[in-house]
Structure 1
Amino acid sequence: MSATDVRPDRERIVEAADRLFNARGVQAVGMDAVRAASGVPLKRLYAAFSSKDDLVLAVLRRREGTWGEGIAATAAGATGARERLLAVYDFLDAWFRSDDFRGCGFINTYGELGGVSPEVADAVRTQKLSFQRYVAALVDELGAPPALAAQLALLAEGAQTTAAIDGRPDAAAQARAAAEVLIDAALRPPR
């Protein structure tokens, strides 16, 4: 931490924890590592977050904001619902190619803590439901059958997992191509 860093403790702590959790996993990172990475003394760290679970939840809230802002920014130039739906996969493509991509932080955290922390499980479910609602609203705007929303959301989730496990950023392009086929089929008039 530099002497000129005046960000509030809480912000520095969450940012440092997010980086560490993403790189190493939640359970592998202790509060002392977060203290060292954030530059916030342990006493002030615990004043900001009474437990590691509270910190994990704050990191998930931060990631939810980052996710939503990233999709919105990528979709900003889109001219219609179809293009905004496909922008999800364009966002994923850029994210998968970033140096710090280690998979979905929500999925990863759920895998580590979802079975033992109802609060973490709820936070992950809330984010996934929020994304599904976003997709459903665009599908509705498009005038396509509601079932398309679940299919497109599953493609996005599957692309995240595939890209993380296989290390293949092209999973986003493959998911986008499949999404185009699904969208076109859903909009095709019945015979």
Structure 2
Amino acid sequence: MKANTTSQKIAANLEQAFAASGFAEQGVDALRDASGVSLRTLYKYYPSRQKMVMAALEYRHQRYLQDIFTPPDATSEQSLSEILEAVSQWMQHNAPTGCLFHSAVAAYPNDEEILHMLQAHKHEVIERLVAVCKMPQAAGELAIIHEGLTQAWPTHKEQALAGAKRLAKLLCE
């Protein structure tokens, strides 16, 4: 996903900053530096820390969907195994310490908007998995496989992928 506008560029930079350093450690000066704009410009687009977090999560959401799922108009179909491979590559390169959405909720446990963003992100991911796999009856199982892989990745890495693939194979049989 390419950031085209100033607000998207800021959101992309904030996403990277939060992914690298978490949500609690960075003050406004660090976020300004990470965003690559002046403090005035940062606050023009995102007038609060909560808005900065939301922008970063929305940008992350769109990037995740684009990186994991083949575009709907593509000529080739994706298998569940290919999607799990893509998720493991995503985790390795973009989220080695775990899901940024879960980290945001952990950092801001009383923020309903951030919680809603987590829920919306996970819901759309599962909708895409169901559509790709053509298994509407298995939405819960697909959610568990996906979440299991993303949550187990920080400690189990390739073993998490192998386990997710075994479960996916059993589900598809």
Coarse TM-score class (shorter-chain normalised)? 0.7 to 0.9
Is 1:173 the counterpart of 2:172? The answer is no
Q: 1:154 aligns with which of 132, 144, 147?
A: 144
- The structure-2 alpha-carbon separation of the partners of 1:21 and 1:145, relative to structure 1 and needing over 3 Å to count, comes to closer
Q: 1:103 aligns with which of 98, 103, 106?
A: 98
Does the Cα contact within 8 Å between 1:103 and 1:160 map onto a contact in 2? yes
CA RMSD of aligned residues (A): 2.3
Deviations 1:30-88 (A, max 9, x none): 22101112331111111111101111111111111111101224996754xxx432222
Aligned to 1:128: 122
Deviations 1:129-154 (A, max 9, x none): 11122222334x3xx561x2211221
- The structure-2 alpha-carbon separation of the partners of 1:157 and 1:105, relative to structure 1 and needing over 3 Å to count, comes to same
Return the alpha-carbon distance in structure 2 between the equivalents of residues 101 and 74 of structure 1.
25
What is the TM-score with the length of structure 2 in the denominator?
0.85
Flag structure 2 segments of 5+ consecutive residues without an equivalent.
none
SS at match of 1:170: helix
Q: 2:171 aligns with which of 174, 182, 185?
A: 182
1:159 counterpart letter in structure 2: L
- The structure-2 alpha-carbon separation of the partners of 1:77 and 1:85, relative to structure 1 and needing over 3 Å to count, comes to farther
**Runs of 4 or more off by more than 6 Å in structure 1?**
none
Return the alpha-carbon distance in structure 2 between the equivalents of residues 58 and 109 of structure 1.
12
Task: Tell which structure's C-alpha radius of gyration is larger.
Answer: 1
**Aligned residue runs from structure 1 range 134-145, under 5 A:** 134-139=128-133, 141=134, 144=135
SS at match of 1:98: helix
What is the TM-score with the length of structure 1 in the denominator?
0.78
**Aligned residue runs from structure 1 range 47-62, under 5 A:** 47-62=44-59
Return the alpha-carbon distance in structure 1 between the equivalents of residues 36 and 130 of structure 2.
42
Q: 1:35 aligns with which of 24, 29, 32?
A: 32
Identity value in percent: 24
Work out the number of aligned pairs and report it. Answer: 169
Does the Cα contact within 8 Å between 2:35 and 2:42 map onto a contact in 1? no
Deviates more, 1:17-26 or 1:129-138: 129-138
Return the alpha-carbon distance in structure 1 between the equivalents of residues 122 and 45 of structure 2.
27
Flag structure 1 segments of 5+ consecutive residues without an equivalent.
1-6, 185-191
Is 1:118 the counterpart of 2:116? The answer is no
2:122 counterpart letter in structure 1: K
